[in-house]
Amino acid sequence: MPWIPVENPSKELLDRLYEQAKKDHQGPCPDCRVKIGQKHAVGCDVARCLKCGGQKLSCECRGGYGDIWTGVWPGIQECYDKKYVANLVGCGKFNTKEPVFNLNRLALEKSKPAMNQITKYTPGFVDTGEKPKVSKFKTVADLLKVPWVKSFSDDPKFYRYSLSDESLMAEYKKGKEWWVVGNIKNPASVDLPKWVSR
């Protein structure tokens, strides 16, 4: 379906579309039926993942539950804020008579992983006189390919990587021994097991 973006939509148009969106979904969530201000039920088709922002029902993140029904369809507020408006054309009876919020553009934008970074951990008592190494990555797979990160998994006693707040941990001997690898700028986007002291 071709979406033709509306360039520089007026505030009047944005406000009108937003008010219409609120009218379209007054009352409970259309899927799990929770009231406005309540958390969506597990398995709700409307609920968003609090980690990646995608549909919770179809994302692969661990956790990320707790999205609250606001009375407005997910993504509408972001489209309003970013002025993402388009006309749907070339679809016969589905053509839009007036512009709509472009949820497709928002979804495509979210599907592109944002750049993240890890800063190599150096204990406070070690003074190398050099700036710590910083590596950029987009996905967990990219992170684990960073040479100085990957070097931790080369040890035969390596068990797994995990997260402790913003710290990437390398665990050994089934978690009985560990080492801080580095600090991640945006840990919410890194789907790794939570580190637990043993």
Domain ranges in the chain? 3-111, 116-189
Whether the model clears a pTM of 0.85, i.e. scores above it, the answer is no
The pLDDT score that the predictor gives to residue 95 is 53
The pLDDT score that the predictor gives to residue 136 is 94
The pLDDT score that the predictor gives to residue 69 is 93
The pLDDT score that the predictor gives to residue 35 is 93
- pLDDT one-digit tens code per residue, 82-97: 999 988 765 555 555 6
The pLDDT score that the predictor gives to residue 154 is 93
77 vs 73: CA distance, rounded Å: 8
% of the chain beyond a pLDDT of 90: 47
Residue ranges of the chain whose pLDDT lies below 50: none
